[in-house]
Amino acid sequence: MNKHFKFIDLFAGIGGIRIPFQELGGECVFTSEWDPHAQKTYEANFNETPFGDITQVDAKDIPDHNILLAGFPCQPFSIIGEKEGFSDTRGTLFFDIERIIEEKRPDAFLLENVKHLVGHNKGNTFEVIKEHLSKLGYTFYYKVLNALDYGLPQKRERVIIVGFREQLPFKWPEPHKQRALLSNILEKENEVCPSLFASEKIQKDRLLKYKGEHLSPSIWHQNKSGNISALPYSCALRAGASYNYLLVDGKRRPSARELLRLQGFPEDFIIPVSYTQLRKQAGNSVPVSVIRAVAKEMLISLNSKMPTKIETKLPQKKISLEQKVCVNG
């Protein structure tokens, strides 16, 4: 494949998957994102408004492309939600990806979702996805990757599925040897908007509940049981979490810019929406550095001239060692 390639960006959010592929020479020829606030942020940064409801798009009308990208909705499979999977309307959006791949036959695809997709419904949901991808004739690989291992101070585990129309080899990117420091992304306390500081009551409540070592800088995380942890990195950003879910040093909420930094967005990324909307958008986004690392390996595979024969049929009961790692998270 030539260095210049074309790709489409489905369920695009605010463009976290697009950024690395564009950096590597790709041209985005079609985008879809239904949320109007996310569309506003996307337009401000990429000078185009995404098409809305992908279910209303005829696959034949989508431009030809080399790579299909899709961070398809994760709520049906998330540990936070009801985990309804394909019984949830949003879960069926995977089949819109399938019909587009079937019609356009791109050279490759990259799909992203929460790690719990792999084990959802005792693994049956993911088996359906694998079966449908195999029937399309694509060689594919999957693995759960953690943003902590790729230069971001955020524990965010996501399953990445990479597929190729031809039987190409693929290598997952190696984790970084050193983890990123939280101090590199935090703003100075006197520069943070006063409205982001939690009330004295909330701060005192956190102090009373927390019994561990007081690390600084750290991000204090309160889980659903009310337990407090203070870590030298952030727990996964969540779109629907309470405002006090994560507190820097137990005092304040992360700023909009800090939220984007936790996801690896560039410093010049434009924020045209309110803090509330940006917080939701960052929580729904992808860790850009993870996608960048995978994208580089994908292009190496696509540009390789020695494709190897890889069995694309689904195993009956056996599962590879790498797949075991993914299933166990």
Question: Any idea which residues carry the catalytic annotation?
Answer: 74
Long-range Cβ contacts of 302-306 (<8 Å, 24+ apart)? 302/1, 302/5, 302/66, 302/107, 302/108, 302/164, 302/168, 303/1, 304/168, 304/169
The whole-angstrom separation of Cα 91 and Cα 78 is 11
**DSSP letter assigned to residue 69:** E
Residue partners of 157: CB distance under 8 A and separation at least 6: 114, 115, 144, 145, 146, 147, 236, 329
Q: Is the dihedral of CA 281, 285, 288, 289 positive or negative?
A: positive
- Token pair in block for residue 289: 């550095």
